[in-house]
Structure 1
Amino acid sequence: MLATQRQELILAAVREHGAARVADLVLELGVSDMTIRRDIAELARAGLVRRVHGGAVSPGGTRAADEPGFEIKVEHAGPQKTAIARAAHAELEPGQTVALSAGSTTYRLAELIAEDASLRPFTVVTNGLRIADALHRAAAPHGLEVVLTGGVRTPSDALVGRVADASLALLRVDRAFLGVHGLDESGLTTPNLAEAATDRALMACAAATTVLADHTKWGVVGLAKIADLHEVDVVVMDDEAPADARRLLTDRLQTVVVAPSHGEPRSPDEPRPNPQEDPA
């Protein structure tokens, strides 16, 4: 296959899905990751895509005020989000009350909670319509209580605004699990001003906060700030996160959990479960 043909296929994937991962393109096109990276670099020089860690995205796809819909978010970095959700699920205990912010990774955690009868009794507070629906369809519903905040619906199916914030102010939970649009050394961000306020209310009602963030979130900055890093207790991320991100988070937080796509969650200083060297 000629380079121009590969690049056309890469561009088509980015335009259809909003992003394309190097690992997926290697399998699909049957070439090395270096070849794919060179193709992406050529497309980036032409202004057709934007290079990011691990792949390419639409050149306008990560503007500070852009808010993708739920269907787009849930398909992006799917294996990594599933691994992160499994790592978070492993920390849950029967009888707890937790809060789940609206988001695609927290949605995957909700699916695991819905299937796990061993957690009952269990209570989930959420401002996510998709999350509430997943819990409502629980395979083991007995002993599972769901509290939906109410509020104004966003493009990502979050309920936000004064009603959501007021309802959260009346509640107390053991732990909040927060999905974010962006994560960097300055903290957590989202494109939606109202959602940032509701996420802060969700953190305020929790005894501790765990952020669930796949590697594509690192270095992304949304319009509205949710919180500083020091306000977070735990970050769960996947093993494709940049080494500098893992080092920075490990220095600043109580706990960082790295969830490999295959195998058990590990601490940031443990080797990857494959021969590739992890510089962190």
Structure 2
Amino acid sequence: MLAPQRQALILEQLEATGGVRVSDLVRILGVSDMTIRRDLEVLARRGLVDKVHGGATRPGGRATDEPGFAAKSGLQQPEKEAIARAAAKLVEPGSAVAISAGTTTWALARHLSHVPGLTVVTNSVPVADVLRQSERPDRTVILTGGVRTPSDALVGAVAISALHSLHVDIVFLGVHGMDEHAGYTTPNLQEAETNRAMVESARRLVVVADSTKWGTVGLSRFARLADASTVVSDVGLPRHARTVLSDNVGELLLIDPSTGESTSSSPARGAS
């Protein structure tokens, strides 16, 4: 297969899913890892893709773009695992916890298997599946119901009604983007409404988001930066982003995925 043919197929995959992984393209196209990386480099120079760790996404960051769960799950894997491991340490035994949909929160669910006595509310089918597989008799999992989105979130009136009747100690939210002016956003209007209801149900909001989410703006804001008690991200977060988040949130935790070590910034909260 010639390079232009491979690159055309890569663009087809990207258009269908919103994001592609190098490992998947190697399997699909039957070529080497290095060949795929060269193809992605060519497409990036032409402005047809945005290269990210382990793959590529559609360019431009359109506010309504919503990559599927499978596409997102392969991106920033080391960072997401490190963030999830650190976030799990914030959960006390016997807590009532809400977990939103997303690939970082899905990783978090896997790291909660050792925490006893949890009641977990989620609008994510993958998160519920992970928690069910752990088969702890002392755990209760409540799946909200709702209409399923490309990112495997259950959203809409059914999910919102369920969340309005519940009260939890802590909510963990993944985000499509976080921005100094836009706050925490998602490209899906119904998911934004559902996330707002989840935030309202909780005493404490923890946002889990890798550093590539900074500067991305989805169609709808569901919370201000200052609404988060804690943001857990990675050391790739730009210096300006660190300053902005430190001035707005109660605590900023930055995790080094290579070591698992964290640095914490806990200044007095700035003006809301």
Q: Identify the TM-score tier after normalising by the shorter chain.
A: 0.7 to 0.9
Q: Tell me if 1:88 matches 2:87.
A: yes
Q: Identity over aligned residues, as a percent?
A: 44
How many residues are paired up? 246
State how far apart, in whole Å, the 2-side matches of 1:208 and 1:58 are.
32
Shift of 1:45: 4.6
Is residue 153 of structure 2 the alignment partner of residue 154 of structure 1? Answer: no
Any stretches of 5+ residues in structure 2 without a counterpart?
23-32, 266-272
1:211-261 Cα shifts (integer Å, max 9, x gaps):
000111111110111111111111000111212111211121110001111
C-alpha deviations, 1:132-159, integer Å up to 9, x for none?
A: 1111111x51201101111111111111
8 Å CA contact 1:189–1:227 kept in 2: the answer is yes
Tell me what 1:47 maps to. Answer: 47
Deviations 1:171-201 (Å, cap 9, x if unpaired)? 1000000000011112000010000000000
Give the partner amino acid of 2:48.
Answer: L
Q: Residue 221 of structure 2 aligns to a residue in which SS?
A: strand
Q: Distance in 2 between matches of 1:59 and 1:150?
A: 30
The 5 Å alignment of 1:152-231 reads: 152-186=147-181, 187-231=183-227
Which residue matches 1:131? 127
Q: 1:66 corresponds to which residue? A: 65
* Residue type of the alignment partner of 1:46: R
TM-score by length of 2: 0.80
- Provide the secondary structure at the position in 2 that maps to 1:240: coil
Classify 1:55/1:121 alpha carbon distance in 2 versus 1 (closer, same or farther; 3 Å).
closer
C-alpha spacing 1:51/1:243, structure 2 compared with 1 (3 Å): farther
CA distance in 2, matches of 1:197, 1:207: 18
Unaligned ranges ≥5, structure 1: 22-27, 30-35, 270-280
The alpha-carbon distance between structure 1 residues 170 and 260, as it changes in their structure 2 partners (threshold 3 A), is same
C-alpha contact 2:120 2:141 (8 A) present in aligned 1: yes
Structure 1 outlier segments of 4+, above 4 Å: 7-17, 42-45
1:262: Cα distance to partner? 2.6
| Contact 1:257–1:265 (CA under 8 A) maintained in structure 2 | no
* 1:250 maps to which of 246, 251, 260: 246
| Cα 1:243/1:210, change in 2 over 3 Å | same
Q: Given that residues 13 and 20 in structure 1 are in contact (C-alpha distance below 8 angstroms), is that contact kept between their aligned partners in structure 2? A: no
Secondary structure at the residue paired with 1:207?
coil
CA distance in 2, matches of 1:20, 1:136: 28
Contact kept, 8 Å, 2:176 with 2:186, in 1: the verdict is: yes
Aligned-partner residue type, residue 160 of structure 1: V
